[in-house]
Structure 1
């Protein structure tokens, strides 16, 4: 993960694959990871599994938003039917969010603090539950692991 030099995170309000739209601004008060991906991207698929494991560890202590870039809804829905995750999947159908966030390649992830200020970015796949990454997250945003029973299924993406 690298420092992210911007002082504010760009706006992000997108339709959700299986529910109402989500606005990043509504998540103020807890750390957020914004992850841009596509289902055709092999490293993205591996990283989604790692992010799901992180979501299980963090419970309600942090939010993860996965943003699918430029794919047809049906393709994304079919993908997650076989690979459900504990966090919302957002749809950047026209790639406007990807451009606003200046994403140059997939996967790309952004870490935001409780005030939604940029903390770090990862422009390559990460193992989100590796000890070094967990330690870095704790140092950056104070996101602590909690029992998985603290998870609610509000964000679970299963069609």
Structure 2
């Protein structure tokens, strides 16, 4: 069962220091030391079916949340500001709502618009496959879609240390992948609307 867990920031920072997290990463984010995560393919609210593979070559922030989870709701505004700031960056954001009816999620995002895809894990299959234990939880994946950072709590996506960690990850993206991303974006911009 997934629970909405809101830890105190000082406690989380202390746990990360004890676990040996390096100064290169935010006190909010920990290095991922587990196995790679399985592929995901989900329906979204407004963008059709979305596959994680569609974002290969970019850094990807996969964020698990629910609209009934108070810390999740508070974090969503910060995540949207990150998306706006990082527009044009080599970062994709995929927010995954866990186990709620579409109408509830749609109503939430009518009141709180998001510029990134909101995916629907209606049957909780993805959250189980990714072994997420708490909401909110976020994974930051490299250009090969391998997790490098994670957090099992809400994050202040406006925090300079969080943004520094994202900058460092984006700097490590292979140059070939960057050209592929630039070409894919140029091709998409050339499509008639």
Task: Indicate the SS of the match to 2:144.
Answer: coil
Q: Which residue of 2 aligns with 1:51?
A: 79
Higher relative contact order (CA 8 A, sep 6+): 1
Measured against aligned partners, the alpha-carbon deviations of 1:63-114 in whole angstroms (never above 9, x if no partner) come to: 0000000000000000100000110000000000000111001000000011
| SS of equivalent residue, structure 2 residue 134 | coil
Normalising to structure 1: TM-score of the pair? 0.86
Q: Does 2:35 match 1:42?
A: no
Bigger drift between 30-39 and 3-12 goes to 3-12
| Counterpart position of 2:164 | 135
Select the residue among 98, 101, 108 that pairs with 1:72. 101
SS at match of 1:11: coil
* 1:125 aligned partner: 154
The SS at the match of 2:87 is helix
Check conservation: 1:92, 1:98, Cα contact below 8 A.
yes
CA contact (8 A) 2:59 2:169 kept: no
Please list every run of 5 or more consecutive structure 1 residues that lacks an aligned counterpart in the other structure: 144-153, 155-159
Task: Give the aligned partner of residue 56 of structure 2.
Answer: 28
In structure 2, the partner of 1:13 is: 41
Answer yes or no: is the 8 Å Cα contact 1:112–1:120 preserved in 2. Answer: yes
Count how many residue pairs are aligned between Structure 1 and Structure 2: 144
Return 5+ residue gaps in structure 2 as ranges: 1-28, 173-187, 189-193
Q: Which of structure 1's runs of 4+ aligned residues deviate more than 4 A?
A: none
**CA apart distance, 1:6:** 2.9
Higher Cα radius of gyration:
2
8 Å Cα contact 1:112-1:141 kept in structure 2: no
Deviation at 1:9, TM superposition (A): 2.5
The normalised TM-score by structure 2 is: 0.71
